[in-house]
Amino acid sequence: MKKKNPVLVAFGNSIRKLRAKKKLSQRALAERSGLDTSYLSGIERGVRNPSLKSLETLAKGLGCSISETCKDLDKLDLAKCLPRKVKRKKP
C-alpha cells in the first residue's frame, strides 16, 4: 500500500473542517464547486492531488479564500515531507 503524502492529507483535513464548519455535505460542496463527489472525497482523504483550478473552485464553493483552505499546511514540517534521496548502489 502506497504511503499517503502528508501535505495532501493535511489539505484534505482542512477542506473537511471548512466543509463541516459550513454544515455542508460532500454532495452539497461538490455541487457548489462543480466537482464530482468521488473526487472531493479523494481530496478529503488525501489521495487526490488537486490542481490550482480545483483549489479555486473549492474555495469559492466554501465561500473562503484559497489561502484559508491551505492554512493547516502551515503546521507541517515540510522538510520531513520531502522525499529522501535514494542512494544508488555502485556496480
Instruction: Give 31-75 pLDDT, tens digit per residue.
Output: 999 999 999 999 999 999 999 999 999 999 999 999 999 887 877
Query: What is 6-73's CATH number?
Result: 1.10.260.40
First to last CA, the chain: 30
> What confidence score (pLDDT) does residue 35 get?
95
pLDDT band at 26 (very low <50, low <70, confident <90, very high): very high
Among residues of the chain, what percentage have pLDDT more than 70?
81
Residue of 54, 37, 68, 48 whose CA lies nearest to 8: 48
Please state the φ and ψ torsions of residue 25, each to the nearest 5 degrees.
-80, 165
Cα–Cα distance measured from residue 17 to residue 22, given in angstroms and rounded to the nearest whole number: 9
Residue pair 41/31 in contact (Cβ under 8 Å)? The answer is no
Q: Report yes or no on whether pTM surpasses 0.75.
A: yes
Domain boundaries defined on the chain:
6-73
Cα–Cα distance measured from residue 59 to residue 90, given in angstroms and rounded to the nearest whole number: 49
